[in-house]
Each structure stands twice: as structure tokens, then as C-alpha cells.
Amino acid sequence: MQQTVSIIISGKVQGVFFRQSTKEKALELGLTGKVSNLPDGTVHIVATGSPDALELLSAWCQQGPPKANVFSVTIEKLPLQVFEKFMIDRFK
């Protein structure tokens, strides 16, 4: 059964390839959704997939890519959202 989660990552997470690395990890896990930088310096992920894959993505976010320094990760379940693919949202 598919689920959707929102993940907010704070710390040194912008300018360290967090969005690109997240997209690569999400595709590896078979997830769909989007990742974006927010004006407050955080990264926001909305991802849809199996509970196991979402758990693996959430665990990966605790560390992130090599240059990131993650301070906190906040995860919230959302109503199911359907995406065709996983994309980087460059509008935020």
C-alpha cells in the first residue's frame, strides 16, 4: 500500500547537492514525489511509495550527502499524493 510523507531537513542542507542526492536515492528506492529548497534554509521532500522505501529514505535523510550537516529531520504522514516521477522543484 502506497503512502505519502513530508520530510523537512534542517542544518547545512542547501548548496551541498542535497536535492540531487535525494532524487537519486528516491529513484533507487522506487519513490515518486519532489524535493525543494525552502526560503528558511531547509529542504522539503514530499515522497510517495511503500512504507519500507519511505522508511529507508527517512533514515538516509538523517545523514544526507557527504557535504551536508543535518541537524534535524521532521517527518509527517500526508494524505496520499500521486506523482508520475521524482523531481527537483526549482521554484522554491
Calculate the alpha carbon distances from 47 to 1, 20, 34, 58, 67 in Å: 14, 14, 6, 10, 23
Residue from 4, 19, 32, 44 carrying the catalytic annotation: 19
Residue from 37, 42, 47, 53 carrying the catalytic annotation: 37
Q: Bridge partners of 10?
A: 72
19 is catalytic: yes
69 is catalytic: no
What does 50-69 look like in DSSP terms, one character per residue? -HHHHHHHHHHHTT-STT-E
Taking the C-alpha atoms of residue 62 and residue 71, their distance in angstroms, rounded to an integer, is 8
Catalytic residues: 19, 37
